[in-house]
Amino acid sequence: MSENMDLKRKKTYDALIRAFEELMKEKTLDDLTVHELCARASVGRNTFYSHFEDKYAFFRYYISLRKERIEGLSAAADDDFLSFRLRVVKTLYQYLRDNRFIWEKNISSQSAWMLRDMMKDNIKAPLVEELNKLEQQTGKSLVVSKNLLASFYASGIIEVFTESLYNERIPEQKVLEDLERICSLLFTEELLD
């Protein structure tokens, strides 16, 4: 019974995600309705509301799911801190380029601040966890606040992505090389005391 329920839930979530991505090519999150999302996904509204409070809760789920996928694609068993960070940045950048319709439709919408905050939180929280692990592994403390460093990094990444996605004069390879340099400079040995 539980396996059947998990399969049914997965199918529901997969249908909602596909429908959401299709609809986000057509409209902003502000303009999207739960009714439209459910109709496109062939999912009942009661089913939707039994899993999500509203479209914003679904969007938070969508962003966190993408974050987990990006981190999973980026991880390697023998990764050091910097190597993992660089792979996450590159994978995230590629995801955003491939799914630029979400940014294009929403960057000037009323919910743009919420989109940025969700993205920032989904970049910041795992970095704080990684920094905690780094301190434990090395027995050293960061010379700056973990939260401040993670906020600076997350906000910067979002701004770089936004700028590069809308400024086609910046070649993708150049952006990736510059991001790698920035991360290498930001996450140096001097970060630990």
Quick: pLDDT tens for 147-164: 999 999 989 888 888 787
Q: What pLDDT is recorded for position 101?
A: 76
Q: What pLDDT is recorded for position 169?
A: 75
Domain layout of the chain by residue ranges: 2-52, 60-191
Q: What pLDDT is recorded for position 71?
A: 75
Contact between 153 and 186 (Cβ < 8 Å): yes
Sign of CA dihedral 37, 162, 115, 30: negative
Strand partners, 142: 192
Contact between 153 and 124 (Cβ < 8 Å): yes
Of 17-31, 119-133, 158-172, 178-192, the one with minimum mean pLDDT is 158-172
**pTM for this prediction:** 0.76
The whole-number average pLDDT for the span 62-68 is 84
CATH of the structural domain 60-191, one choice from 3.40.1350, 1.20.120, 1.10.530, 1.10.357: 1.10.357
The CA-atom distances, in angstroms, between 98 and each of 72, 77, 153 are 18, 26, 22
State the DSSP H helix or E strand holding residue 138, giving kind and residue range, or none if neither: helix 112-138
pLDDT at 1 over 80: no
User: Is CATH 3.40.50.300 what the domain over 2-52 is classified as, yes or no?
Assistant: no
DSSP string, 11-48: HHHHHHHHHHHHHHTTS-TTT--HHHHHHHHT--HHHH
Q: What pLDDT is recorded for position 47?
A: 94
Q: What pLDDT is recorded for position 148?
A: 93
The whole-number average pLDDT for the span 105-110 is 75
Q: What pLDDT is recorded for position 117?
A: 86
Which one has a higher pLDDT value, 82 or 57? Answer: 57
